[in-house]
Amino acid sequence: MKPSLNKCPVCGDNLLVARYHCDTCDTVIEGRFENSAFPGLTAEQIEFVKTFVRCEGKINRMEGELNLSYPTIRNRLHETIRAMGFEPGKDESLDVSEEKRHSVLEDLDAGKISAEDAMRMLRGEE
């Protein structure tokens, strides 16, 4: 299957999806649908992802931009990850409290500690 186009190859304007088809039951849905790089995410979740990328994944920067607390941003991130079909922290082998993790990440972002020191701290080695 070819990847979806988002821009018109002739004029460069945004393309709309006009038809969906289910191969299993042959259902066809026609209309005018926004073309999304993240199908299944709500408009709010898509804006969250855009902010996350713009802030380079730094939750402390997102706190200031969105005027939300660290736990609220973390919860929204987990909701968005689940909406994309993944389970947050599934591959995570780090076992520290949210407060400790937040503190370590702030120190790392501020340049107070190295990435290696942060990993050791997050693994509970220091």
Angle (CA) 80-81-85 rounded to 5° is 110
Question: How would residue 115 be classed by pLDDT, with cut points 50, 70 and 90?
Answer: confident
Contacts 24+ apart (CB under 8 A), 16-19: none
Residue 99 near residue 109 (C-beta atoms within 8 A): no
DSSP H/E element including 28: strand 28-34
Question: How would residue 102 be classed by pLDDT, with cut points 50, 70 and 90?
Answer: confident
Residue ranges of domains in the chain: 93-126
Please determine, for residue 91, whether its predicted confidence score (pLDDT) is greater than 70: no
* Dist. CA 56–CA 49, nearest whole Å: 10
Structure tokens at 29: 């849905």
Average pLDDT over the chain reads: 85
